[in-house]
Structure 1
Amino acid sequence: MIKGMTVVNAVASPEMFDKLQSLFLALGFEQGRGWDDGTGRGAAMLAPLGNLEFVTGKQPATPRLLIEVTELDAIHMAVEKWMLGSYRTEEIASLLTKPEPTHWNSRLFTVKLTTGASEELTLGFWQSENVLHGRPVAIEGDLSAAGMRFAVITTRWNTVITDRLLQGALDGLYRSGAARKDVEIVRVPGAWEIPSAARTLAESKRFDAIVTLGCLLRGETAHYEAIYNEVARGIGQSQQETGVPHAFGVLTCETLEQALDRAGLKAGNKGFEAATAAIEMVSIQKKIGQPQIAEGGR
């Protein structure tokens, strides 16, 4: 079984060796186990991903040593800052290029490291323009609710909050393509009753997902903790035992002001967030078991 891959790059002078090691450490590379046998030295720089690439025909004009990054502009600034400690300002302009587009769907900049002995070593730093490049293949949900059926449970207690949550949830479902006939709203007295209703609706097998909405405000007694713990446990247990996704949109806040903020006033609408989470989970369940196509190339 192949374990790893190491590319050995010979450096002509100890001065260049120290300069190269200093740059890589400044950029955050993890230092592996080095060696010094009296006749030479080695320094290992570890990266989470390595590639060995073979080319033929017309080759792109890139340095032999290419380093892929995710924040090219930030890396460019870090390299420039490091160079200010080793080179004169007027030298840097000729040694460090600006990030430029390439013909292989990426951006690239190069840096030349020099020594007093006129030795040069060129490094290339690049970032793919494909935002999915290098990402592991994963099953992810879409946000299209077309053809899906949802039950939305809300409470009559704290309706000044839960009505706002309900409005946000319905907005999320309808904006994502759910038909009004495929969304059923169920009102229960309070948060305590949500798990029971959720379980009944899930076991009916009429819905692809359940959206639970409610609001608990801390009072001056332990009632708040007791109710919240059982509500969260009950909703989670219903989801696990029925296999139907349950989106959790039950607010637990210290004050009414905090609840209003989370119901659309300042901090988004938790009902909308719960609805989109439900849509995504239904999509994921439908995709599980289907073959996924890996992305290739740069």
Structure 2
Amino acid sequence: MIKGLTLLRSASTPAAFDRLGSFFAALGFEPGPGWVNGANRGSSFRAPLATIEWIDGAADTPADLLIEVTSLGAVRDAAEAWLRAHAAEGATEAETLQSLQATLSRIEPTVWKTELFTAEPVPGIRIAFWEWAEPLKGKPAAMEGDLVVTGMRFAIVVARWNAVITDRLLQGSLDALLRSGARREDIEIVRVPGAWEIPDAARTLAETGRIDGIITLGVLLRGETAHYEAIYNEVSRGIGQSQQETGIPHAFGVLTCETLEQALDRAGLKAGNKGFEAASAAIEMVSLKRKIKAAPVQGSAL
């Protein structure tokens, strides 16, 4: 299972290392765990999505690192503000403007139907920031949630039964939340004996008013049990009813499998991690719900 992409670049000097970290932090990147190993140190930054792209033939690429953003103008303003604040000490306004012209480009259209600008926070490291010029591409506008979790609080209800599976699902959910910028103190983990108890715990959490989204994790194996379908029906009904009656988004991460091998595959071995997917869905639904509530009313009242 492919989990993520990491791009490694070496800063030429300790000062360049610190400068790059400050630049990425100023643009709103989520900081990842850093590390120190003797004389070496590392600093990481995360983004919700990553892409690796190979090109067949010559390509006129503006930089080694391309970062897709929304609100390209606001990102450029942030980059310019940072470059001004970190101009050479004692530089005049004319010298600062000359430096900006050399390290920060204007927003320009590209042949691949995007708009783009480049920034060079340290010499030799040029970064391109881009945004689709026509993000809708002829399609009707749609309101969608995103994977930014600023100010959101989540609860994860996870069953202890079949912990070899549910612990993997829990790890996937935490990975999705933390990668999207959630703070650990905003994630509440509640363990229940088995899948049957998940709806009750989820309902109790939803009614507290302190949770924005709930992720339910468990596993039901058919095996030789005659009551498999009865349990699954009640668990799914209870989770759905809790969501509808409390208005709190509930993500369904309860696996229903024929065998243990199938469950392992869906918990990260071969078929992705359903805990990660459930957490991503919860983030998106909380985001969408907030957008719907904040959207202006269309039309006039009758």
For the aligned pair, the TM-score class normalised by the smaller chain equals 0.5 to 0.7
Aligned match of 1:194: 198
- Secondary structure in structure 2 of the residue aligned to 1:200: helix
User: Is structure 2 residue 188 aligned with structure 1 residue 184?
Assistant: yes
Aligned match of 2:153: 149
Q: Deviations over 1:124-146 (max 9, x none)?
A: xxxx9845222111110010112
- Letter of the 2:157 partner, please give it: I
Shift of 1:104: 11
CA distance change for structure 1 residues 181 and 230 in 2, over 3 Å: closer, same or farther? Answer: same
Q: Deviations over 1:143-196 (max 9, x none)?
A: 011211000000110000000000000000000000000000000000000000
CA distance change for structure 1 residues 151 and 104 in 2, over 3 Å: closer, same or farther? Answer: closer
Q: Deviations over 1:107-135 (max 9, x none)?
A: xxxxxxxxxxxxxxxxxxxxx98452221
- Letter of the 1:227 partner, please give it: I
| Runs of at least 5 residues in structure 2 that lack an aligned partner in the other structure | 1-109, 115-131, 297-302
- Secondary structure in structure 1 of the residue aligned to 2:191: strand
- Letter of the 1:143 partner, please give it: L
Aligned match of 1:256: 260
Structure 1 CA distance for aligned equivalents of residues 292 and 263 of structure 2: 36
Shift of 1:291: 4.1
Structure (1 or 2) with the larger CA radius of gyration: 1
User: Is structure 2 residue 233 aligned with structure 1 residue 233?
Assistant: no
Aligned match of 1:285: 289
Aligned match of 2:16: none
Match of 1:270 among 269, 274, 292: 274
Match of 1:164 among 149, 165, 168: 168
CA distance change for structure 1 residues 204 and 133 in 2, over 3 Å: closer, same or farther? Answer: same
Dislocated runs of 4+, deviation >4 Å: 102-106
Aligned match of 1:134: 138
TM-score by length of 1: 0.54
| Runs of at least 5 residues in structure 1 that lack an aligned partner in the other structure | 1-101, 107-127, 293-298
CA distance change for structure 1 residues 226 and 103 in 2, over 3 Å: closer, same or farther? Answer: closer
Shift of 1:105: 4.7
Shift of 1:272: 0.2
Aligned pairs (5 A) from 1:72-111: 105=113
- Secondary structure in structure 2 of the residue aligned to 1:133: coil
- What is the RMSD computed on CA atoms of the aligned residues? 2.2
Match of 1:173 among 148, 160, 177: 177
TM-score by length of 2: 0.54
Structure 1 CA distance for aligned equivalents of residues 183 and 170 of structure 2: 16
Structure 2 CA distance for aligned equivalents of residues 171 and 104 of structure 1: 33
- Letter of the 1:170 partner, please give it: L
Q: Deviations over 1:216-245 (max 9, x none)?
A: 000223211011000000000000000000
Aligned match of 2:23: none
Structure 2 CA distance for aligned equivalents of residues 161 and 104 of structure 1: 44
The total of aligned residue pairs comes to 171
Aligned match of 2:68: none
